[in-house]
Amino acid sequence: MRVAAKSTHARPALAGVALLAVFCGAAAGCLESKRPTEVMVTQVTTTIHPAKPPDCNMPVLTAEPTVGYQQIAIVEAWADINEDPAAVLPELKRKACGTGAEALLILGDRKQNADPQLYSVTPNESETAVTAANRSPNQAGDYVNKMQYRAKVGEEGHTGYYINGIAIDYTSGPNTAASGQPPTP
């Protein structure tokens, strides 16, 4: 009978420990939230290219090829600022495969950190008073909204790692963009 008594007291204790472990795990996950990588593709040609499998062999170029090529699509990615650039490249290649391109030309990449700064001096009373010249007295509220705005992916001020490339097909003629014009450096 004593064994049964011990096990009934042990169950709530084990349940409490398990519950505590779940809460600690959830709290740790919230503290270390990482932005998922977002890859965007913008077609720049009307030519239809059949998609390749996501794991296709997509060559990655870091310099403009010496042979002629045509731009098929812009392929760009935003990732967490602490993301390893080598971890973002497979996602970029996967999307480039979906365009049916023959290669992916990386144009550039950068990390930008837009940590919130301290607010400047807010508008004073003369700027927030309703007058004939100032019919919108809520400049202080507009200022606070502007300072607390979090930039969306692709907007200036968005924190993260950005990589920009173009999916290309090789041609026998000169290099061309979708419009038929030579690409700008």
Give the mean model confidence (pLDDT) for residues 73-99.
92
Q: Would you list the domain boundaries of the chain?
A: 1-33, 35-114+151-170
> What per-residue confidence (pLDDT) applies to 57?
95
Q: What DSSP string describes 130-146?
A: --SS----THHHHHHHH
Interval 56-82 mean pLDDT: 93
In whole angstroms, what is the distance from residue 41 CA to residue 47 CA? 15
pLDDT per position as a tens digit, 23-44: 555 444 444 577 788 999 999 9
CATH fold label, 35-114+151-170? Translation Initiation Factor IF3 (3.30.110)
The per-residue pLDDT for 61 is 96
Separation between Cα atoms, residue 37 and residue 94, nearest integer Å: 13
* CA nearest neighbour of 44 among 67, 75, 68, 77: 75
Q: What is the reported pTM? A: 0.59
